[in-house]
């Protein structure tokens, strides 16, 4: 008899999610699809199936099942049980930090800014 593994357990075992409950939650919120179709957490994984996983900030992973494991093991063993067909992740442009203002400098030890200094800083930022 072939080994049967649930999709939530499989995604946890191949280290796509930190816990099985996070994997089940992602499946429930339609972030895991089999051939563009929604799957349930109890779906039994078969070798050769392709799954599309959606993560934060629009990152998508496309994985193909090459082996079945149901226990979380080392990364090397997990990597042998799937093939990653994901497109390369595009580097996002980094926006300048709102907390760093290079032109605004205060002397060390001068204390907290006064109300007037805060207004001046706000006016400077708006310009």
CB count, 10 Å around CB of 87? Answer: 8
Lowest average pLDDT, out of 12-16, 73-77, 108-112, goes to: 108-112
The CA–CA distances, whole Å, from 119 to 21, 97, 100, 101 equal 48, 20, 17, 15
pLDDT of residue 68: 93
Residue 113 lies in a domain: no
pTM exceeding 0.75 = no
Residue 109 lies in a domain: no
Segment 68-85 shows an average pLDDT of 92
Residue 34 lies in a domain: yes
Name the domain count of the chain: 1
């Amino acid at each position: 008899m072939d080994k049967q593994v649930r999709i939530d357990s499989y995604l946890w075992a191949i280290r796509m999610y930190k816990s099985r409950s996070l994997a089940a939650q992602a499946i429930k919120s339609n972030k895991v699809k089999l051939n563009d179709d929604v799957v349930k957490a109890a779906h039994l994984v078969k070798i050769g199936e392709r799954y599309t996983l959606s993560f934060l900030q629009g990152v998508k992973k496309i994985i193909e099942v090459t082996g079945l494991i149901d226990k979380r093991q080392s990364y090397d063993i997990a990597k042998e049980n799937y093939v990653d067909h994901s497109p390369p992740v595009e580097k996002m442009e980094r926006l300048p930090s709102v907390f760093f203002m290079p032109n605004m400098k205060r002397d060390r030890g001068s204390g907290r800014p006064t109300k007037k200094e805060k207004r001046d800083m706000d006016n400077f930022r708006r310009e």
